[in-house]
A and B are shown apart, each in its own frame.
Chain A
Amino acid sequence: MSTSTSKESGSAARFRALIDAHFAFVWRCVRRFGVPPSDADDATQEVFVVAARKLDSLESGREKAFLFATAMRVASTERRTRRRHPEDAADTLDTRSLADQPNAEELAELVEARAYLQEILDGMPVEQSAVFVLAELEETPVREIADLLELPLGTVSSRLRTAREAFAQGVKRFAAREAFSRRKR
């Protein structure tokens, strides 16, 4: 009995550590894989419930890779159940994290940019968006990305290059849209 209790306590401690270390990361990932802000809390929670259920078989040192893969799957299912609206992005803006506090116009610009970023990410094949999110938005070194995704370095670099090109093309469309909308104002 005491062994069982001790094991459960150990599992609980490990799970708490998992949450502490990776909650924010997982939340950002599900968001960037297309889950709207209103559902990102639930999706993140689902990822960690899965982790809790699989905790015993979760290989030490592979927790982040497992969470990332699970976040991708949960987000894939979640985004198909709801239609995202650009205005949802406003919920995610925490201006306290900005070095320079935006005024109302700058904030509106960020909201619009965040929505458009999601359009670009959603338009990428998932293998590209995964690498792009990790490299460009999470600032993860390529070696760690290769480890997380269990891919050769060359594959990661190739996907990242392709994703960056897609991103650049998307931004050009964004800039054109911006120019057009500003001309209309």
Chain B
Amino acid sequence: MTDDDQDDRAPRENDAAAENRTAQEALLIRSARLDAARAGAKEQALAAGLDALAHRQGSRQKTVLSLAVLAAAAGAALLFGTKPVAVTPEPRVTPAAPPPSVAPAVLLSPPTCPELVIARGNAPLIEDFETKDSRVLTLDGRSGGWMTYDDGTGKQSPPGRSALFPSRIPGGRDKSQHGLHVSGGKFTLWGVTLGAELADAGCYDASAYAGVELWAKGPGNLRVGMQMIDVQDVKYGGLCTKDCYNTHRAVITLGKTFERHTVRWEDLRQLFQGGPPIAFDPRRVRFIEFGVAPGDTPFDLWIDDVSFIPR
């Protein structure tokens, strides 16, 4: 029997399986065939889609959450899996460190994001994790969802490629009752990353702020990153064509108890070789992300009260 013969047999195999079903199996299968959208749903989807089409600006640079996240994972895997890492010394920010001497962020111009949300700088709190959903707080134009992804070489909880929801902090942290909790075993390729978009499919201009701060505990090192559209693969709406996802990051060292950490824009560096060096530009940010490198796994990470730093 050739493969083609086997292929052609497939529908008949389905028929045979149907004939051999028990009455209960047939009942369950039959119940699924009753699934049907309500009247008008198709027309609403058509209208929403046409509206999205009409609002495209530079549509080839558009993207969506899941694809971008997966692309980031794939790009990171490529980067970490095929190249020597940590060629550039990693900038470290100690917990609750006073801001370093202020130097203006190096900016690229002009911004070329297809959709741009410009922050006013009047609502720095990105997420306090006290709501039960996986979305970032809709303040200062922000919109996005928390997700986690990993390199597939180990196991984490919640599993990779899933939305992240707040967890109750045992005993609480001051007035905070919930935070983001991710833990996992040993990873060997590029590790684990969690993060959120700041403007869904568009870019977020965070230049009204001076950096980000968070409360976190480990122990271990945590890479705090802001992913610009420039390092994202063009296939997923970014501007990068080669050696992508060299995100701007800074490494903070977590203790066993919650501590406040700050990362200012000037602390962010591209940590790895690959692709053209790009100066960090807070006007072109797509994601905020937190990464655990393979050397810092296994890990048990809590994050809470993620916020921008007002200027």
Q: Measuring CB to CB, which residues of chain A are less than 8 angstroms from any residue of chain B? A: 8, 11-12, 15-16, 19, 23-24, 27-28, 31-32, 40-41, 44-45, 48-57, 70, 73-74, 76-77, 80-81, 89, 92-95, 97-98, 109-111, 113-114, 116-117, 120, 135-137, 139, 141-143, 153, 164, 167-168, 171-172, 174-175, 178
Contacts and interface: CB of A to CB of B under 8 A. Distances in A.
Contacts of B161: 76
Given A142-B7, A153-B3, A48 B48 contact: yes
Interface in B254-302: none
A11 B45 CA distance: 15
A48 B165 CA distance: 25
Given A53-B64, A77-B163, A137 B32 contact: yes
B109 interface: no
Given A41-B41, A49-B45, 6 more contacts: A8-B53, A48-B49, A77-B145, A114-B31, A117-B29, A171-B28
Contacts of A31: 35
Contacts of A171: 22, 24-25, 28
B62 A53 contact: yes
Interface of B is mostly: helix
Contacts of B52: 49, 52-53
Most buried by A among B31, B67, B161: B31
A136 B24 contact: no
B62 A114 contact: no
B60 interface: yes
Interface stretch (B9-17, B77-85, B181-189): B9-17
Interface of B: 3, 6-7, 10-11, 13-14, 17, 22, 24-25, 27-38, 41-42, 44-46, 48-50, 52-54, 56, 59-60, 62-64, 66-67, 133-134, 145, 161-163, 165, 201, 235
B44 A52 contact: no
B59 A53 contact: yes
A172 B28 CA distance: 11
A110 B24 contact: no
A11 B50 CA distance: 9
A141 B54 CA distance: 37
Contact of A44 (B27, B28, B33, B41): B41
Nearest to A178: B24
A118 to B, nearest CB: 9
A136 B17 contact: yes
* The 6 residue pairs across chains A and B that have the minimum distance between CB atoms: A142-B10, A114-B31, A52-B49, A52-B52, A113-B31, A94-B36
Contacts of B62: 53-54
Nearest to A93: B34
A110 B27 CA distance: 7
Contacts of B41: 23, 27, 41, 44-45
A120 B28 contact: yes
Contacts of B59: 53, 55-56
23 contacts: A16-B46, A24-B42, A27-B35, A41-B44, A41-B45, A45-B41, A49-B45, A52-B52, A52-B53, A53-B59, A53-B62, A55-B53, A80-B162, A81-B133, A92-B34, A111-B31, A113-B28, A135-B14, A141-B10, A141-B14, A143-B7, A174-B28, A178-B24
